[in-house]
Structure 1
Amino acid sequence: MQDYLKPTEIIDWQHPQVLSLARDLAGDRADSTAIAKICFEWVRDEIRHSCDYRLNPVTCRASDVLEFRTGYCFAKSHLLAALLRANGIPAGFCYQRLSINDDGAPYSLHGFNAVYLPEWGWYRVDARGNKLGVNAKFVPPEECLAYQPRLPGECDFPEIFPEPLAVVIEALQAHQTWDGLLKNLPDRVSVLNS
C-alpha cells in the first residue's frame, strides 16, 4: 500500500501549496471517506478541464494543475491523488480506452483514480469535471464514473497503477497547448496489456 502513498515528481504532494490545500480540505475531519469525497469534489469542480474550457498551459505535475487551475483528465487525476496521499489516503491511477468522437476510431486513453477506503476497499472515482452528458459522483460503494465503454474498441482496464503511465506523462509533457494535445492523445493499449 506504501506505493499508493508516496510522493513522486508528478504526484508532488509535499509541495507547499498542495499540502496546504490538502490540509484545508480535510479540516478537522477524521473520516477518510469524508476527506476523499471533499478532495474529489474540489478537483472535479474547481479545476477546469483543459479541453472543455480550451485552456493552456497543458499541466502534468499536481502542483502545476493547482497553480494554473486547469488540466486534462490525466492531470486532474494527478492532483486528486496528491491531495489524497497528502491526507494519508492511498490513491492510484486507472484508465479506460474510449472513442474520441464517440463513434469509433480514433481512440484515446482516459485517466481517473482509485482511492482506498477502509470500509469499501478500492473505489474508482473520476474527477474529469461534469458537463452535459457527464455526471461523475462520489457515492461509495456505487461507481459513478464519467464514461462507460460501450463501443467496439473501447475498454475499461481493471488495473490500479501506483504511478501514472509513462505514455500519459510523455504526452502531457510533449505539448504546450490544449489543442496540440487533443490531436495527440495517448492511445497505447499494449502498455496496459503487457
Structure 2
Amino acid sequence: MNYLQPTFYFDYTHENIQRLIAAFKDDSLSEAEKAIGLYTKVRDGYLYDPYHISLNPENYRASSLAEKPTGNCVEKSIVLIAGLRGLGIPARLRLGKVVNHIAVERLMEKFGSNALTPHGSVDVRLDGNWLKMSPAFNASLCEKLNVAPLEFDGKTDSYLQAHNAEGSRFMEYLEDYGHFEDVPVAFMIKNVKEHYPHIFDTDQNDLEFKL
C-alpha cells in the first residue's frame, strides 16, 4: 500500500492543505520536527467537537475539513494525515472504539453511551517505524478537564490519556478496527448507525447531525 499518495479524501494538493503545511516546508527541519509541528498545529488549531456527525462522503475531504474551526477525532485525523502526506511523510488512518470516563454527562445525553466509535487517530512512519498519534483533544480543552495535553515527540506512540492529573481514569480503548490507506466512509457510516441508531433515520444516507 502507498501511504504517501493523495486520494479523494486526503487531497493534500488542494490549496487549503498546502496553506496549512506551508510553514513546515523547510529543508532545515527533520521529518520528525515537521510531524511534531503539524501534529501540534492540528491538535490545537481545530477545537474538538464530537457532536457533529456527517453521512455525506464529500464532507470527509481534508480540504473541506481544513476550513472548519472545529472537528471530531476522525476529522482532525484526516486533516493531519493529508498534511503529513503533503510533506512527504507516510501516514494512515486508524479507527477504533474508546470510552470516555470524565465529563460524560453530555455524551450520555446525546449518544446514550460514553463509548465513542469510530474513534480516529493517526499512524505516522518516521525513521522506519510506525508511530501512533492522536490529535483529538486541543490543549485548552485538556486544561478544562484537568488532563495533560498529549504531546508527540516523534519517537514514541502518543495515545489518548489514560488518566487525568488526579489519577482518575480518563480514556480507555475498547476495540481497534485497524488502519486504512484511505478514509473508509462506508464502514464508518455503518458503524455509527449500528452503535447510535436512535440518533437518525437509518434509511437516510446524506445528512448532517449537530447533536
TM-score normalised over the length of structure 2: 0.68
- Higher RCO (CA < 8 A, seq sep 6+): 2
The answer on whether the counterparts of 2:76 and 2:135 sit within 8 Å (CA) in structure 1 is yes
Q: Size of the alignment, in residue pairs? A: 174
The answer on whether the counterparts of 2:126 and 2:154 sit within 8 Å (CA) in structure 1 is no
User: Secondary structure of 1:143's match?
Assistant: coil
**Structure 1 match to 2:31:** 32
**Structure 1 match to 2:85:** 85
Change (3 A) 1:70 1:57: farther
TM-score normalised over the length of structure 1: 0.73
Select the residue among 120, 127, 141 that pairs with 2:135. Answer: 127
Gaps of 5+ in 1: 180-194
1:163 counterpart = 2:172 = no
User: Secondary structure of 2:157's match?
Assistant: strand
Pairwise CA distance, 1:178 = 3.2
Pairwise CA distance, 1:147 = 4.4
The answer on whether the counterparts of 1:56 and 1:177 sit within 8 Å (CA) in structure 2 is yes
The answer on whether the counterparts of 1:84 and 1:90 sit within 8 Å (CA) in structure 2 is yes
Change (3 A) 1:63 1:10: same
Note the 1:87-166 alignment, pairs <5 A: 87-99=87-99, 107=115, 108-118=117-127, 121-130=129-138, 131=142, 132=145, 133=147, 135-148=149-162, 154-157=173-176, 159-166=178-185
Change (3 A) 1:169 1:48: farther
RMSD of the TM alignment (CA)?
A: 3.4
Q: Which of these two proteins has the greater Rg computed from alpha carbons?
A: 2
Q: For 1:72-130, what per-residue CA distance to the aligned partner results, in whole angstroms no more than 9, with x for missing partners?
A: 11010000001100000000111231236679956322101010001x61010000023
CA distance in 2, matches of 1:106, 1:56: 16
CA distance in 2, matches of 1:154, 1:91: 21
Gaps of 5+ in 2: 163-168, 193-204
